Amino acid sequence: MLKLFWGSHDSTTCHSRQYMSAIFYHGDEQKELAEISKTAFQKQKMKKIVTKILPAQTFYNAENYHQKYLLRNQSGLLASFGLGDKQIISSYVACKVNGYVGGYGSEDQFDKDLPSLGLSSEQEEYIRHVIDRKYPAK
């Protein structure tokens, strides 16, 4: 998970507290693993990593408009799922589709996930179109 974390964002950019890069740990072992991974990743960067490593405390969900943000930008597709704000947070399908419409997944990966998603043919076609735009044929 740490490898995915370091590779999925710019850890050298300082954002406001609301959008800061952080790893929250539960216990000494997680803290140590986070610090080791930060040190290793820093060797690959020219700029200083500003990611904070902090003890986990009370967790609060982000505001609804932040939940599955990339999917929310596809309003017709989102509406086709008929999910309320609370359902969007916990929906496996919304999570997977959010990633695909954001460009995080190939058509091959989508084909593997498709049986577990329960999509209509219209939803499938729409997502394939988005994936094709993100991964144009070579």
Per-residue pLDDT for 137 more than 70?
no
Instruction: Indicate if 44 and 71 belong to the same structural domain.
Output: no
Instruction: Indicate if 16 and 70 belong to the same structural domain.
Output: no
Structure confidence at residue 104 (pLDDT): 86
Instruction: Indicate if 6 and 48 belong to the same structural domain.
Output: yes
Kindly state the average pLDDT of the residues 113-129. Answer: 96
Instruction: Indicate if 126 and 74 belong to the same structural domain.
Output: yes
Two tokens at 66? 């932040």
Instruction: Indicate if 27 and 83 belong to the same structural domain.
Output: no
Distance between CA atoms of residues 22 and 52, nearest Å: 5
Instruction: Indicate if 68 and 129 belong to the same structural domain.
Output: yes
Structure confidence at residue 126 (pLDDT): 95
Most confident of 9-13, 43-47, 59-63: 43-47
Chain mean pLDDT for the chain: 91
* Total domains in the fold of the chain: 2
Instruction: Give the residue from 55, 74, 100 where a domain finishes.
Output: 55
Two tokens at 95? 């999570």
Pick the range with the lowest mean pLDDT from 28-37, 82-91, 129-138.
129-138
Instruction: Indicate if 19 and 79 belong to the same structural domain.
Output: no
Range of the domain at 110: 64-134
Secondary structure (3-state) at 65: helix
pLDDT tens-digit series, residues 85-105: 999 999 999 999 999 999 888
Structure confidence at residue 42 (pLDDT): 95
135 vs 84, more confident: 84
Structure confidence at residue 37 (pLDDT): 97
Give the global pTM: 0.71
Instruction: Give the residue from 34, 55, 76 where a domain finishes.
Output: 55
Kindly state the average pLDDT of the residues 98-116. Answer: 93
Instruction: Indicate if 87 and 125 belong to the same structural domain.
Output: yes
- In angstroms, what CA-CA distances link 32 with 11, 35, 43, 56, 91? 18, 5, 17, 14, 32
Name the residue with tokens 């969007």. Answer: 88
Instruction: Indicate if 37 and 99 belong to the same structural domain.
Output: no
- In angstroms, what CA-CA distances link 99 with 84, 93, 95? 19, 10, 7
Instruction: Indicate if 43 and 72 belong to the same structural domain.
Output: no
